[in-house]
Structure 1
Amino acid sequence: MLLHYIHRRSFSSTNQVASFARWYRGLWQPKLANEPPYDHVTQIGDPILRQKADLVPPEAVTSPEVRLLVKLIVDVMRKYDCVGLAAPQIGISLRILVMEFKEKLRDEFTSIEYKNKEMETLPLTVFINPELKVTNFEKKVFPEACQSVRGYSGEVSRYSEILLRGLDENGVSKELTLKGWNARIAQHEMDHLNGIIYTDIMNRQTFACTCWQAVNAHRGRVRIGFHKK
């Protein structure tokens, strides 16, 4: 079972790969509603968000199990309208992240904001066992939010340009240079793989509820949802 794998936290031996395969077959069998992988995003306080995620072993990278896991991460990212998501955020402590910045997001920002934050489209991008290298040590500060700290934001300083190296969903080595907002997304998701949440590195004085004005306008009758159908 996957829970057994998560508690063991190591996934390098043949027996553990077989254990993961048994979990995969079990996806078509009844399971507890609270058993990962989740179709919601884990929230701050969940111990899995504080673990350093394990490497996906080379022999498992192109397995049906990992392919399905990648698909699940992408599905949840899109379900919650995220621009990035890491495997621990659906309850799986493996070093996998996905990113996607769609063209339609341009309409959610003013042209000035889009330019100042150096935003640009990013097609669906998958990295397995990614490594990050800073290529421009200039830092910029912008408000940042996270689906694992739903309903809040805070200002975070991030490097302007980075290089990601790793494997894609087909097990092919690749590298990608990212700058501006997409570099921020990558750094945010890499933090998740290392047990770091943006609240650890933000300017704490800027931490704010993103709907505080609505709370006042509706006399406190505002709900923050943690699940989408």
Structure 2
Amino acid sequence: MFKANAKVDVALNRDVEHLIKTGGKEGILPIVQMGEPVLRQRTAPYEGQLSRRTLTKLIETMRTTMLEAPGVGLAGPQIGLGMAIAVLEDHVREGDEDDPREIGELPFHVIINPSYEPVGDQTRSFYEGCLSFAGYQAVRRRWLDIIARWQDEDGNRHEERLHGWPARIFQHETDHLSGEVYIDRAEIRSLSSDENLADLWCEDPVPTEAAEELGFDL
């Protein structure tokens, strides 16, 4: 639970309410792009600074913005909010069962003050993208299995082992909250526009051919 004596930060609460209103009736916020300082700053932990009403509206707006983008995760800094909160959601689709990225069902989650640690030493390298670096993707090596920890909107603590693509999503969004963007540790020679990725490298999710042709290690 969040601190029993936590007080609403009136000024911050007002700022977040204003931010939410910028999404209009549709509840779709503009997504901050690379170069904005907020993407490079460590977020403040959430300790109950917002009223429950404002927090609920913020979560709803973040989810709407994420799905509309479309994306599978969205962190506070990506909407200009330096607070340790993110939303995640991804679903298995037809044909995903045999995907080497090991895509798994990831129901909607609000993750507050999240952290993770690897389980074992296995990693996988796949292309991934970011809503804050629109139009490009690059190969990023990530842990295959993690222990994920977070709090929900009620302050309840959770711990879960995640594997494959859901683990990658959790790592990606949690990294945002410490000021890291996926491209920081990506194979920079793999960087590709969305169009070129679709035309040249998406036939096999394992980027073996891209590694050979573009000159990077897997």
Superposition TM-score, scaled by structure 2 size? 0.78
Q: List gaps (5 residues or longer) in structure 1.
A: 1-12, 216-229
Deviations 1:187-215 (A, max 9, x none): 11111111111111000110011113899
Deviations 1:55-81 (A, max 9, x none): 012x33672222222222111111112
Aligned to 1:142: 126
Deviation at 1:148, TM superposition (A): 0.8
Deviation at 1:22, TM superposition (A): 3.0
Secondary structure at 1:205's aligned position in 2? strand
1:168 equivalent in alignment to 2:152: yes
Aligned to 2:107: 123
Q: How does 1:86-125 map to 2 (within 5 A)?
A: 86-103=75-92, 106-107=93-94, 112=98, 114=99, 116-125=100-109
Secondary structure at 1:22's aligned position in 2? helix
Q: How far apart in 1 are the matches of 2:18 and 2:129?
A: 34
Amino acid at match of 1:187: Q
Aligned pairs, how many? 192
Give 1:54's match in structure 2, choosing from 34, 40, 44: 44
Aligned to 1:190: 174
* Contact kept? 2:76, 2:85, Cα under 8 Å: yes
1:23 equivalent in alignment to 2:31: no
* Contact kept? 1:100, 1:122, Cα under 8 Å: yes
Q: List gaps (5 residues or longer) in structure 2.
A: 1-5, 200-218
- In structure 2, relative to structure 1, the CA distance for the partners of 1:93 and 1:24 (3 Å cut) is closer
Q: How far apart in 2 are the matches of 1:73 and 1:42?
A: 13
Q: How far apart in 1 are the matches of 2:136 and 2:28?
A: 22
Deviations 1:133-185 (A, max 9, x none): 21232111011111111110110000011112121122211112111011000
Deviation at 1:26, TM superposition (A): 4.9
Give 2:69's match in structure 1, choosing from 73, 80, 83: 80
Q: How far apart in 1 are the matches of 2:68 and 2:29?
A: 9
Aligned to 1:68: 57
Deviation at 1:40, TM superposition (A): 2.0
Q: How far apart in 2 are the matches of 1:72 and 1:28?
A: 7
Secondary structure at 1:92's aligned position in 2? coil
Alignment RMSD, CA only? Answer: 2.8
Secondary structure at 1:187's aligned position in 2? helix
Q: How does 1:215-226 map to 2 (within 5 A)?
A: none
* Contact kept? 1:61, 1:171, Cα under 8 Å: no
- In structure 2, relative to structure 1, the CA distance for the partners of 1:142 and 1:96 (3 Å cut) is same
Greater percentage in helix: 1
Q: How far apart in 2 are the matches of 1:46 and 1:53?
A: 14
Aligned to 1:203: 187
- In structure 2, relative to structure 1, the CA distance for the partners of 1:64 and 1:136 (3 Å cut) is farther
- In structure 2, relative to structure 1, the CA distance for the partners of 1:214 and 1:169 (3 Å cut) is closer
